[in-house]
Structure 1
Amino acid sequence: MTTDGGIRRTISDLVAQEHELRDRLSRGEADAHEERERLRAIEVELDQCWDLLRQRDAAREFGSDPDAATVRDPGTVEGYLD
């Protein structure tokens, strides 16, 4: 079972990783191509976490079980604005 607190901790960890990677890139301490790929992966994972929290909130609001919410695939969470 995933909890809201666990999801929020994952988000915090990912944001910290994102900031560190961006700092390393700005200082020229990292391979730009590899770090940009990792940044993109972090951004997708963050979007999945936020989506999962929104699903859980909606489930609660409408009387459903928030634990039934699942992580959606990257194509779904990244395609919302397309």
Structure 2
Amino acid sequence: MDQQRTEGGTDRRILERISEMVEAERGLRAALAAGRIDQSTEHRELKDIEEQLDQCWDLLRQRRARVDVGEDPDGASVRSADEVERYES
């Protein structure tokens, strides 16, 4: 597969999703600072976003690794948050 494919549609959508989640993190921190949410709400929602971010980054790494070895990047799949967390420890 060529690099253009991975930088095209699917990878671009993954990167856009990552950007959206980073903005959501900023929004949560701003909401906490402004007193619109409490700390437990911020913590719970941040944990969920962080898990999703880890999964997106993992998927992107899988796709790029597959391209590097000449495999189809579409063979990569989203792994569970637990599995991704074990790899990052």
Deviation at 1:79, TM superposition (A): 1.6
1:34 corresponds to: 41
Q: Quick check: 1:48 aligned with 2:26?
A: no
Give the alignment's TM-score, normalised by structure 2.
0.84
Which AA in structure 2 matches 1:28? G
The partner residue of 1:74 within 55, 68, 81 is: 81
Unaligned runs of 5+ in 2: 1-8
Which ranges of 4 or more aligned residues in structure 1 deviate by more than 3 Å?
A: none
Unaligned runs of 5+ in 1: none
Q: How many residues align?
A: 81
Which AA in structure 1 matches 2:27? E
Identity in percent: 47
Give the whole-Å Cα distance in 2 for the aligned partners of 1:21 and 1:28.
Answer: 10
SS in 1 for 2:47: helix
